[in-house]
Amino acid sequence: MITPREIIQKKRDRGVLTADEIGAFIRGYMSSGIADYQVAAWLMAVYLNGMTIEETLALTREMRDSGKGLDLSSIATKKVDKHSTGGVGDKTSLIVAPIASACGVTVPMITGRALGHTGGTLDKLEAIPGFDPRPSPDRVLRILKSAGAVIMGQTDDLAPADRRIYALRDVTATVESIPLITASILSKKLSEQIDGLVLDVKTGSGSFMPTMKTARALARSIVDVCGRMKTRIVVLITDMEQPLGRAIGNALEIRECIGFLKGDGPEDLETVSIALAAHMIRLGGRARSIGQASKMAYEAVSKGHAAERFRQIIHAQGGDARVVDNPDLLPRASNIQEFRSRSNGFLTRCDAKLLGLASNTLGAGRNRVEDIIHPAVGLYLERKLGDRVKRGEVLCQIHWNDESRLRNAMPLIERAFETRTRPVRTRPLIHAVLEG
């Protein structure tokens, strides 16, 4: 029998672990036979020495099988989830779940909290009064059957090994590892028996994969592993150099989603959301081509079916669905302050990371696990990259509650914007699409 130390040592020495060794290590950790510090040392060895696709596959399987999973066999339609590697203003999950569901796809969506400078879908949903992000497994089934979609947090049944390992990675500087990210995303998603997955890998300064090279490597790894696990996958690599849409912050983003589902959304948000939704519809077997699927997605919005689904999802999860018709029921910040341009020209920087940090500094995110989210605060961008701006024009609205937080956020906001006399070339919104 190989010991935990020998498994760490093998990876330390750039060896390739067998599926049995990875299995013994993860099961040993979950049964407390292997300590946190041994897993931490192993994670650093994996971070620095990497893993083969076979190893990543074994790790994904083992983490997926660490919990009971979600039994969705009583639902006959195809189940498709969507995941994003995290960005600023990235509220597409809240848009694509109702659209895909309105088009006949079942969407069991597992989502997370704000992390670092990025926002979290669960935190956004909690801005809706009464919304329950942790329904019981029975209730998940009932919600899926009534609303066609559920948006919920990870539970103890869903890849608990991923939860424990993720918490450890967070405090040991081992987050940004392609095999570990691959296993984390897929173990969680595949624990709910989905037929297909659409993954949005963000690239750019506001993402966790700043370069196209790392974004592509992550996409490739996920496509390869997912393919071996007999689940269809489409990965879109999309841009996160500036925030997506105009709203950053929980209630503000819900409001923007509602606007979008009612036919009034910013163009970049539309481009990315419709592309993601279309791939979900196609993987869910409701369309033959992306063209047809896109048309269905647009129609779900224009005919009001998606907004109706959003109402149903909120209602089924205990939230106040009246917000869809009256967004003023959402929490509102006590103060709104305008941030204005000091020069004429073109906006050449609208930095996603700095604006995400600024929003989180205002209270939209957490520095520590125990921090409380302020649902109403955040930023609303009046200008975006490439826009012509005049001195004195409003660049963004700052929604704030606490003066000291505002003071800390201001330097970040100031550094986030830059104006020049000539516009810079805009980056594409969708850099690449990979399919498994």
CA distances (Å), origin 272, targets 96, 264, 407, 408, 436: 10, 15, 33, 32, 20
Residue 342 touching a copy of itself (CB under 8 A): no
Q: How many residues bind a copy of itself (CB under 8 A)?
A: 25
State yes or no: is 169 an active-site residue.
yes
Closer residue to a copy of itself in complex, CB, 184/294:
184
Closer residue to a copy of itself in complex, CB, 38/397:
38
State yes or no: is 83 an active-site residue.
yes
Distance from C-alpha of 390 to C-alpha of 198, rounded to nearest angstrom: 40
Distance from C-alpha of 66 to C-alpha of 64, rounded to nearest angstrom: 6
Q: According to CB under 8 A, which residues from 350 to 389 bind a copy of itself?
A: none
- Cβ contacts of residue 386 below 8 Å, gap of 6+? 346, 347, 423, 424, 426
Distance from C-alpha of 300 to C-alpha of 311, rounded to nearest angstrom: 14
Question: Which of 81, 90, 162, 268 is the catalytic position?
Answer: 162
Q: According to CB under 8 A, which residues from 105 to 134 bind a copy of itself?
A: none
Q: Which of 256, 218, 174 is nearest to 86 (CA)?
A: 218
Residue 408 touching a copy of itself (CB under 8 A): no
Q: Which of 64, 140, 82 is nearest to 313 (CA)?
A: 140
Residue 151 touching a copy of itself (CB under 8 A): no
Closer residue to a copy of itself in complex, CB, 76/369:
369
State yes or no: is 399 an active-site residue.
no
Residue 140 touching a copy of itself (CB under 8 A): no
Q: According to CB under 8 A, which residues from 12 to 31 bind a copy of itself?
A: 12
Distance from C-alpha of 83 to C-alpha of 280, rounded to nearest angstrom: 11
Contact range with a copy of itself by CB under 8 A, out of 170-178, 189-197, 256-264, 391-399:
170-178
For strand 80-84 and strand 107-111, is the pairing parallel, antiparallel, or unpaired? unpaired
Contact range with a copy of itself by CB under 8 A, out of 45-53, 140-148, 226-234, 310-318:
45-53
Q: Let me know: does 278 contact 294? Beta carbons within 8 Å.
A: yes
Distance from C-alpha of 128 to C-alpha of 331, rounded to nearest angstrom: 8
Residue 172 touching a copy of itself (CB under 8 A): yes
Going by the DSSP 8-state scheme, the letter that residue 425 receives in this structure is P
Closer residue to a copy of itself in complex, CB, 168/229:
168
Binds a copy of itself (CB under 8 A): choice among 33, 49, 338, 392 = 49
Binds a copy of itself (CB under 8 A): choice among 17, 45, 197, 323 = 45
Buried b (16+ CB within 10 A) or exposed e, 348-359: ebbbbbbbbbbb
Question: Which of 169, 305, 309, 431 is the catalytic position?
Answer: 169
State the nearest-atom distance from the C-beta of 421 to a copy of itself, in Å: 37
Distance from C-alpha of 207 to C-alpha of 214, rounded to nearest angstrom: 11
Binds a copy of itself (CB under 8 A): choice among 44, 109, 219, 358 = 44
Residue 168 touching a copy of itself (CB under 8 A): yes
State yes or no: is 391 an active-site residue.
no
Residue 213 touching a copy of itself (CB under 8 A): no
Helices assigned H by DSSP within 148-211: 160-171, 178-190
For strand 394-400 and strand 335-340, is the pairing parallel, antiparallel, or unpaired? antiparallel
Residue 48 touching a copy of itself (CB under 8 A): yes
Distance from C-alpha of 347 to C-alpha of 385, rounded to nearest angstrom: 5
Question: Which of 11, 61, 79, 83 is the catalytic position?
Answer: 83
Closer residue to a copy of itself in complex, CB, 175/394:
175
State yes or no: is 170 an active-site residue.
no
Question: Which of 188, 189, 255, 353 is the catalytic position?
Answer: 188
Residue 248 touching a copy of itself (CB under 8 A): no
Residue 35 touching a copy of itself (CB under 8 A): yes
Q: Which of 281, 37, 16 is nearest to 148 (CA)?
A: 281
Residue 4 touching a copy of itself (CB under 8 A): yes
Distance from C-alpha of 323 to C-alpha of 206, rounded to nearest angstrom: 29
Q: Which of 337, 77, 50, 95 is nearest to 194 (CA)?
A: 77
State the nearest-atom distance from the C-beta of 3 to a copy of itself, in Å: 9
Question: What's the Rg (C-alpha) of the chain?
Answer: 22
Which residues would be at the binding site for a copy of itself (CB under 8 A)? Answer: 4-6, 8-9, 12, 35-45, 47-49, 168, 171-174
| Residues that are catalytic | 83, 162, 169, 184, 188
